[in-house]
Structure 1
Amino acid sequence: MSIDFNRFKQDIIGKKVGVVGLGVSNIPLIRYLLTLGAEVYGFDQRKLEALSQEVHDFRSEVRLSLGENYLDDLKGLDMIFKTPGMRIDHPALLSAKEEGAVITSEMDEFLKYCSARTIGITGSDGKTTTTTVVGEILKKAGYHVYVGGNIGTPLFTKLDEIKPSDVVVLELSSFQLMTMTNSPEIAIVTNLSPNHLDMHKDMQEYIEAKMNIFRYQKPGDLLILNEDNEITKSFAPLANGKVEFFSSKNENEDAYFSDGSLYLRYERIVDLSEMKVKGVHNAENFLAAFLAVEDFVQKPIMRELALSFPGVKHRCQFIREHEGVRYYNDSIASSPTRTLASISSLEKKVNVILGGYDKQLDFAPLAEEGYKYIKNAILVGDTRHKIQESFRTASKKSGQQIPIHMAETFEDAVKKLRAISQEGDLAILSPACASFDLFRNFEERGDRFVQLVNEF
């Protein structure tokens, strides 16, 4: 049972509350805290002129600390909502905690007070698609659904309107989970592989963060795990509630993929060939979603959604066919494993753009397996030479050589992609890296790719 949200609203009146990060997701939170009667302090390393008009609009109501030394004033506060990307062991936060401040996050507070059923999804790959599929199945079944967390609308400000009969579906990143002390009633871990090692100290810290999605579950709760992934499989003995598995290799699990079909409790739900999305990784996403909604959605509704679901933008999104070449936008693929999953799901070898911001990931698995799926590779961004070296090393071991083309700019990479692609080819942006070297986020990178392809 959740805690009565009225308790929070009573306690927050007149309290000094800090919000670290004045980006788009925290603006609604600040406005809401003001309506509740809190004394709000806003912190951001950017200067005022770089912030949105909304920040300018409420600066008379919120005490702002901006610029290079913005955290010097993180003192004397009762509560601090930190931005997900800020480490909990940041010296300024540790100092504030020692002084008595409660360090929390919008998502942790939401789960503490939410009265509706909650379903949380995390993983290195597939969490956005799985989150979207769960939400769409529930909507088709007639439920009033809120989708949020790492995607969608900030939900803390919706607590007053969310009813116990509603369902909340949350995509949860390792950054959000790192400081969580509450877990959703139903938790899915799609898979785990090295990711975000530029932010986390090491792989173990990354794994520990992901485990918070089920660490605080109760005996009646449900944990859904990928049986094929050694890391997620190892979580089962640590669960407080019921554990169920999905698999694309083992037909003895609760939900499984076999001979081209998706099964739930040995009942065939749909064939992958009937679905608009392709690839075994998407079959796994749907299997996890089926298990999450099984207790309150009938199987024919699951099948109906599986047949009609078009996929999620920037995730192997078909753009157009031009001069006999089919172009795909897979900008979400910010890790080598994600890129491998995408390119292996397509029906033939691809011409692919790789490279971007360096998250300190190992490209050897992509290079060693890539020759099966890559016809040509165009390398761009901060990691282009690192990826090139991985392919050279892999080629020496296997004797398999992939033609490599180096690009200086993103636009140059797209031009090269067009130039080397011939009629009948598949051409894809699936970078295996984050976007921060050239773009604000993967969406901006994907939108730019779509724009350039549509200008051919």
Structure 2
Amino acid sequence: MSSMIQQYLDDLRGKRVAVIGIGVSNTPLIKMLVRAGVQVTACDKRDRADFGGQAEALESLGVTLRLGEDYLEGLDQDVIFRTPGLRPDVPQLLAARERGAVLTSEMEAFFEVCPCQMIGVTGSDGKTTTTTIIAGLLKAAGYTTYVGGNIGKPLLPDADGMEHGDVAVLELSSFQLMTMQRSPDIAVITNLAPNHLDVHTSMEEYVSAKENIYLHQEEEGLVVLNEDNEITRSFAAKAPGRVMCFSRKQELERGVYVKDGAIWVSDDNGKREVLPIEGILLPGIHNVENYMAAIAAVNGLVPDDVIREFAAAFQGVEHRIELVRTLRGVRYYNDSIASSPSRTAAGLRCFDQPVILIAGGYDKHIPFDTLGPEIVSHVKKLVLTGPTAGKIRAAVEGAPGYAPGRPAIVEVEDFDEAVAEANRDTVPGDVVILSPACASFDRFKNFMERGNAFKRIIHALD
């Protein structure tokens, strides 16, 4: 076992530890702590019946379970691992900290013990695809690469096997970043727009959380910023380390930009063309931006010919403008990852013709004003479902250029019915896309479950 993680676990041994949330990221953490001889209490708001045999399996390892509505009451442990979805300022956690408890998380612990270079990616849109592109480029260049954070699997249990020359590529959400006191060696912020305002108290808090990805860097650290985004552009003056920006709207003296139909890099070695846009298999201008962010992050690590070869073959990430099926000339796309208006707008711009759009879902208290004009310009039929249906309709009907029937708007209650309505009266050449502009929690556990439900329905069409 590496000395860093060994020391970390040695420091925990003899202390009482609480792990809040028995989910994908924390279950391996619980097992690792138990194997190291740490006394663990696992807390979760779900009832015992929801866990099936998992509850008994954890108890057989010596884990104490605290389940149900009162799962946060009486926290008196020395160290508390917070699940990312739980705000750090809920009364029970504040009281525990006042009693002297250390509040941390699986990701914060990984930052403490990771022995290799870390590249972190955050943003309101595009972070999963950008993370995946960066990791793919590094793997193609021969690096041993680990992918985790908000995607993939928890990396803390893998830290022991990591070598100094490896690279860990991390997608980091605002919830993971809220209490971060360390930053990755290379930080990428794809863009920022209103998001997750159902959890964050304000846009200012959301932005502040995102900034933790670079504010704790050393002088040799690098932050990659979107020059075309007003919020991220302002971070350059505050960066403690190096800055590289990317822009598809203007040529940069230092950075990554679009010129003459290609992505260029300008750095200490001069200016060079790296990747023709027509050489990118993924559709959409937003994916050009994702590649620019990735190229800025791996500049000097991955040869340009490797970038070109990868871009020509990479087909994208599941649930992101994923072609599900073509049936009788109609193409069906799954863009369930689009849980914000800006992401849906980017997806709509990928198509040359007006599309049939399925949208709506859980209300994150994000305004839809900017989405209204995009729908008017790019959609011929809009099928709305979920709690936000009325808000999206109002944004469309209030947008410049809207006229009754352009687009046609239909509201339905049931998700299956919404997909059926989108498919009704389609003709060859049509595009049907699920791109909700909202989170999935009104009906589904996550966007993957929503996307898979859509795909099942589409594959059942005959």
Same fold (TM over 0.5): yes
Cα distance change on mapping 1:258 and 1:399 into 2, 3 Å: farther
| Paired residue type of 1:373 | H
- Tell me if 1:256 matches 2:261: no
> What TM-score, normalized by structure 1, do the two folds share?
0.97
The equivalences for 1:102-113 within 5 A come to 102-113=102-113
Kindly state the Cα deviation for residue 274 of structure 1 after the two structures are TM-superposed: 2.8
**Does the 8 A contact of 1:125 with 1:192 survive in 2?**
yes
Q: Please give the secondary structure, in 1, of the residue aligned with 2:257.
A: strand
Deviations 1:425-445 (A, max 9, x none): 111000000000011100000
Q: 1:401 aligns with which of 402, 406, 415?
A: 406
Judged with a 3 Å threshold, the aligned counterparts in structure 2 of structure 1 residues 256 and 420 are, in CA distance, closer, same or farther, namely farther
Q: Is residue 2:343 matched to residue 1:342?
A: no
Does residue 68 (structure 1) correspond to residue 69 (structure 2)? The answer is yes
The alignment status of 1:299 with 2:338, answered yes or no, reads no
Q: 1:444 aligns with which of 436, 449, 453?
A: 449
Counterpart in 2 of 1:47? 47
The match for 2:313 is 308
Deviations 1:317-365 (A, max 9, x none): 0111111111100000001110001111222221100100000011111
- State the Cα distance separating 1:52 from its structure 2 match: 4.8
Structure 1 residue 54: deviation in Å?
A: 3.0
Does the residue aligned with 1:159 lie in a helix, a strand or coil?
Answer: helix
Establish whether residue 432 from structure 1 lines up as the match of residue 433 from structure 2. no
Secondary structure of 1:331's partner? coil
Between the aligned partners of 1:358 and 1:19, the Cα distance in structure 2 is 28
Q: Is the contact made by 1:257 and 1:284 (CA closer than 8 Å) also made in structure 2?
A: no
Asked whether the 8 Å contact 2:24–2:153 carries over to 1, the reply is: no
Of residues 382, 385, 391, the one that matches 2:387 is 382
Pair 1:455-2:448 in alignment: no
Aligned counterpart, 1:101: 101
Distance 1:229 1:235 in 2: 10
Shift of 1:264: 2.3
Deviations 1:355-382 (CA, angstroms, capped at 9, x unpaired) = 0000001111110232111111100111
* Residues 376 and 402 in structure 2, CA contact (< 8 A), matched pair in contact too: no
Alpha-carbon separation, structure 2, partners of 1:337 and 1:436: 19
**Aligned-pair distance for 1:74?**
1.1
1:111, distance to aligned residue in structure 2 (A): 0.8
Structure 2, unmatched stretches of 5+, are none
Quote the residue 1:219 is aligned against: 219
The one-letter amino acid of 2:72's match is L
The answer on whether the counterparts of 2:376 and 2:396 sit within 8 Å (CA) in structure 1 is: no
Q: 1:9 is aligned with what amino acid?
A: L
Aligned to 2:292: 287
Q: How much has 1:399 moved relative to structure 2? A: 8.8
What does the per-residue CA deviation read over 1:42-65, in whole Å, with 9 as the maximum and x for residues that have no partner? 101111110253332021411111
Match of 1:79 in 2: 79
Q: Secondary structure of 1:394's partner?
A: coil
2:453 match: secondary structure = helix
2:114 paired residue number: 114
Deviation string, structure 1 residues 130-157 (Cα, Å, up to 9, x no partner): 0000000000111100000001110111
Secondary structure in 2 matching 1:235: helix
Change (3 A) 1:398 1:218: farther
**Superposed displacement of residue 19, structure 1:** 0.1
Aligned counterparts of 2:145 and 2:245: Cα–Cα separation in 1: 24
Name stretches of at least 5 consecutive residues in structure 1 with no aligned partner: none
State yes or no: 1:156 paired with 2:156.
Answer: yes
TM-score, normalisation: structure 2: 0.95
- Aligned residues, how many? 454
Question: Do the aligned residues in 1 keep the contact of 2:246 with 2:256 (CA within 8 Å)?
Answer: yes
From 360, 364, 369, give the equivalent of 2:369.
Answer: 364
Contact 2:24 2:154 in 1 (8 A): no
Contact 1:357–1:382 (Cα < 8 Å) also in 2? yes
Q: What is the 5 A alignment of 1:125-144? A: 125-144=125-144
Deviates more, 1:50-59 or 1:410-419: 50-59
Contact 2:356 2:379 in 1 (8 A): yes
Measured in 2, the distance between the counterparts of 1:399 and 1:255 equals 43
In 2, the alpha carbon distance for the partners of 1:159 and 1:274 equals 36
- Residue 326 of structure 1: SS of its match in structure 2? strand
Alignment counterpart, residue 424 of structure 2, candidates 401, 419, 432: 419
152 and 52 in structure 1: CA distance in 2 versus 1, 3 angstrom threshold: farther
Q: Which amino acid aligns with 1:359?
A: K
Residue 237 of structure 1 corresponds to which residue in structure 2?
Answer: 237
Taking a change above 3 Å as real, the CA distance of residues 47 and 430 of structure 1, as seen in their structure-2 partners, is same
Is the contact made by 2:251 and 2:258 (CA closer than 8 Å) also made in structure 1?
A: yes
For 2:63, the aligned partner's letter is V
- 2:365 and 2:378 map into 1 onto residues whose CA distance is 23
Identity %: 46
The residue type paired with residue 416 of structure 2 is: E
**Retained in 2: the 8 A contact 1:48–1:56?**
no
